[in-house]
Structure 1
Amino acid sequence: SLLNYDNTKIQFYTVNKAIEKGNLDILKAVLEHSTTNIIPYNIERVIEKGNLDILKAVLEHSTTNIISYNLDKVIEKGNLDILKAVLEHSTIKIESNNVDTAIEKGNLDLLKAVLEHNTTKIESYNIDRAIVKGNLDIFKAVLEHSTTKIESYNFDKIIEKGNLDIFKAALEHSTIKIESYNFDKIIEKGNLDIVKAVLAHSTTKIESYNINKAIEKSNLDILKAVLEHSTAKIESYNIERAIEKGNLDILKAVLEHSTAKMYSYNFDTVIKTGNLEMLDMVLQHLD
């Protein structure tokens, strides 16, 4: 036959031509005659081709290790059957960057296949990638396969993202304490549901500067939620900040939760505003 002619050695690029042709019988004939090692480039070409039978024929003939780059290509291709065939054939250690690629792809079945085959520790940056992706099912799948502690900066990323469901999933998975400075960022973000979720879940002590942040935000619902949860004493500088803000509802909410002594500088600030209703409110608080 032509393949036996002059004992010609079949080169890797001939294998590539057979892969490109997409005819399984021709490919098998080429592979059976070939003594050339299948190289990662051949595997990349067959992945790109996207034909499962062609891929299996190449993998069965191959002793070449699948490299991390090939695996990334499979994930990006998005074909679950091809991914499973590669994973079943491969002794490759899945790297954190492969997990990142699967997260970025956003296909839950692909991600689960990668995670189930994975022995690599999920890194904090993988969790960050899942947060940024914003897909709750993807995020939960990563958390279920992770023993990695959710770090404070992961929560910062979740706060920035503003997705309540992802935030709740992180809280349920995490033993981390939400620090007061994290809570400041949550107030700044201005999402009432996330504020309430933290207050319901957290043992975080509300500090006076958190109250100031809520006053500064001028969101009455957020301020009330913070004040209702807080055991921190309202300080005179909190009252001062509320007066400076010039919002009667905000000032009223602060005064209702306050047993703080009013100082002369508080009155000076009220007078400077020229707001008679505000002055009346402050004077009534003295009674």
Structure 2
Amino acid sequence: MKKYSPRDSFSGSLPGSCQKLSSPGWFDTHCHFDFPAFDPDRRAVWQHCETLGISGLIVPGVCREQGERLASFCAGQPWFFALGLHPCFSERHRMADLDWLEQVLSTSECVAVGEFGLHFSRPVDLAVRQQQRQLFDAQIQLAQQHKLPVILHGVGAHDEIIQALRLARFDGGGVVHAFSGSEQQARQYLDLGFCLGLGGLLLRPNAHRLRRTVQQLPLEAWLLETDAPDMTPAIAASRRNSPVFLPLVGVALARIKQLTPAALQACQADSIRKLFFPLSDHPI
């Protein structure tokens, strides 16, 4: 896979271990770039991303059918992938998919298990709730077994997820995608070794609680993401979200933390390497 060199060195003061890094540009840690919404213009979108200094992204897995295509989709590009069974695709999942996932985690180059989790945004049928929890527990065990971080999806279920992680004694770390919970929940995730995904929600004018949480937590707690094509920022003219909006989120975070964008990029790169590429020399 092609390697990309860091750019835009930063000579000022950076927090912690970020001081040793030069800035590599932006990196989208959660982008469904393989979804059909990008089929008409994916190449043009990525070319635009490169002009904005976006150096790579991670494509999460959501189901077996989609996951089986991700290795070939990402080949030859600065795109990486995770494999998992998303709770919102429960009608597609079969228990046999866990056998597939266990097998493929042993042989693929995926960087995490996910996206998976619990989604309780509305009253959920007991059988569906039990299925989500069964798949959640099984994927946590697989991540522990294969020493991989996880990409977690949590809607209306942060307390249950935190409890489940503690019961499983999971120590592989990961990222809680699109975090919008309380500061207390955020700190509990940090204590468990997790980072928090930060995307277009930060750009909403009424996102006061999220901005306060961002201010209160250390910079290293946050990983930039878009969740494109979903979760389109309110400032976007189009209905489709895109990784091209990632620098806007990055600049907003840099302003809150009173850093230059280059300084933020360097710290992001350090966090991404530690979480997703701990055994390699990837110049993210």
* TM-score, L = length of structure 2: 0.27
Structure showing greater radius of gyration is: 1
**Higher fraction of helix:** 1
Higher relative contact order (CA 8 A, sep 6+): 2
* TM-score, L = length of structure 1: 0.27
**Higher fraction of strand:** 2
